[in-house]
């Protein structure tokens, strides 16, 4: 099971860094109950193994003038692997698309888009998204407000599962 190759300290390190990626190594070591040098070695190992993909600031889009957030549900004409991969590659080139997820069911992809205003998103929709190769249809939903935006994974659920399966 994923997570089992990590020990308790590794999982605590990941949980703490997920909550605050800017803390110093000394503070992190104190929180997880080990000294700083082995803590730093563990963090580097977690990075090398791909458990930590990177660090970033949680930027407030609205404070920067990005007032519009839209989820776009995209259905493709063809779901051949080469067409799916081509569409994913195209999504990576669109700066308004902040997330792209392939789904199963009626919708092939859901895109999270952020724009400064409705006109900018509408231009993107009509000039880029709807005219992209292999797109059959696009349905959009404008976000009115967000109730929760929690990054990462729920470590409490992982810990409960590991205890139950032990």
Mean pLDDT of 2-16: 87
Q: Mean pLDDT, to the nearest integer, of 127-151? A: 96
Largest Cα–Cα separation, the chain:
56
Is the separation of the CB atoms in 98 and 87 below 8 Å? no
Which pLDDT band holds residue 2 (cuts at 50, 70, 90)?
low
C-alpha triplet 61, 65, 69: angle, nearest 5°: 55
Please identify which residue in the block is written with the tokens 């929760």.
148
Token duo for residue 102: 């392939």
- CA 11 to CA 7: how far, in whole Å? 6
pLDDT of residue 90 exceeding 60? yes
Question: Average pLDDT of 20-32?
Answer: 97
Mean pLDDT value across residues 24-48: 97
Per-residue pLDDT at 1: 45
d(CA 59, CA 85): 29
Q: How far is the CA of 76 from the CAs of 10, 91, 97, 133, 157, in angstroms?
A: 41, 13, 17, 9, 35
Predicted confidence (pLDDT) per residue in 110-128, tens digit:
999 999 999 999 999 999 9
Q: Which domains does the chain have, with CATH numbers?
A: 1-58 (1.10.10.10), 62-142 (3.30.70.920)
């Amino acid at each position: 099971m994923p997570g089992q190759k990590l020990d308790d300290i590794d999982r605590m390190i990941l949980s703490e860094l997920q909550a605050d990626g800017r803390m110093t190594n000394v503070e992190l070591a104190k929180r997880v109950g080990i000294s700083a040098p082995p803590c730093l070695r563990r963090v580097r190992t977690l990075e090398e193994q791909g458990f930590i993909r990177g660090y970033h600031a949680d930027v407030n889009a609205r404070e920067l003038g990005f007032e519009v957030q839209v989820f776009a549900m995209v259905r493709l004409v063809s779901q051949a692997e080469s067409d799916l991969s081509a569409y994913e590659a195209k999504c990576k080139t669109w700066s308004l698309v902040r997330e792209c997820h392939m789904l199963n069911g009626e919708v092939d992809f859901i895109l999270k888009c952020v724009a400064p205003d409705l006109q900018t998103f509408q231009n993107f929709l009509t000039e880029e998204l709807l005219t992209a190769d292999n797109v059959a249809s696009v349905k959009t939903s404008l976000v009115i407000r967000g109730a929760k935006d929690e990054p990462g994974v729920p470590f409490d659920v992982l810990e409960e599962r590991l205890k139950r399966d032990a």
